[in-house]
Amino acid sequence: MNELSGAALPSQTLVDLGAALGSDVPFFLSNGSAYCTSRGEVLHEVGCVPLASSPSPVFIVKPDPGLSTARIFKALDLSNLSPADPDQLLSRFVAGTQTPDDYLNDLETASFAALPLLHDLKRRLQQLFAVVLMSGSGTSFFCLEPRAPALLQDDIKSALHGFPVGVRTYSAHFINRPADAWYQGAPGTAG
């Protein structure tokens, strides 16, 4: 927005404007590592967590069907929320001492009930990765810590052979940026 308007709006103003567009938008205006609360629009920068500097790729796995976020939140059983303390979890991520059990998403149960094939997809992916977690209310998963070195997208496709719906996979890396600077592309790519 700053580039398009020629103005230099402060980061917080951009975050506030982004929140008016959608709950997840402020995260994409963060420095890359942030703890988001409320609907996702309240942003707490946490600096570069050790996980974000890992050379291992992050795999995003997206089945073709989607889910309505409103439907999943209506189906959410508040009595089944994780008892884990978010502040303690965050401190482990910042210190780099998190375990696979520290990755939580209370919306998974409601999403799996709405679209049971998501649970099967997660089980298949857990054969390849130590961490498999649905992103938000679904239906994409992010996968970390490959169980085999040099895991490739073809390995994922092979593991998903015969899955009843189409599934797309993407390889990505964490990125962080300095405050008040925009993300730069990797060397040799467009920024």
- For 153, counting Cβ atoms within 10 Å of its Cβ (0-12 exposed, 13-18 middle, 19+ buried), the class is middle
What is the distance between the alpha carbons of residues 81 and 67, in angstroms, rounded to a whole number? 20
What is the distance between the alpha carbons of residues 135 and 61, in angstroms, rounded to a whole number? 10
The pair of three-digit structure tokens given for residue 1, joined into one six-digit string: 């927005």
pLDDT digits (tens, 9 = 90+) for 153-171: 788 888 999 999 999 999 8
* % pLDDT > 90, the chain: 46
Q: Which amino acid is at 181?
A: A
> Are 175 and 57 within 8 A, CB to CB?
no
The per-residue pLDDT for 176 is 77
pLDDT digits (tens, 9 = 90+) for 35-78: 888 878 888 888 777 776 777 778 999 999 999 999 999 999 99
- 174 pLDDT tier (thresholds 50, 70, 90): confident
- 9 pLDDT tier (thresholds 50, 70, 90): confident
| All residues at 6 or more sequence positions from 124 whose CB lies less than 8 Å from its CB, including other chains | 159, 160, 163
- Cα angle value 98/104/105 (rounded, 5°): 155
The pair of three-digit structure tokens given for residue 85, joined into one six-digit string: 């303390």
Q: Which amino acid is at 102?
A: D
Q: Which 3 state secondary structure label does DSSP give 105?
A: coil
| All residues at 6 or more sequence positions from 160 whose CB lies less than 8 Å from its CB, including other chains | 121, 124, 167
Q: Which amino acid is at 169?
A: T
> Are 169 and 143 within 8 A, CB to CB?
no
- For residues 78-97, average pLDDT: 92
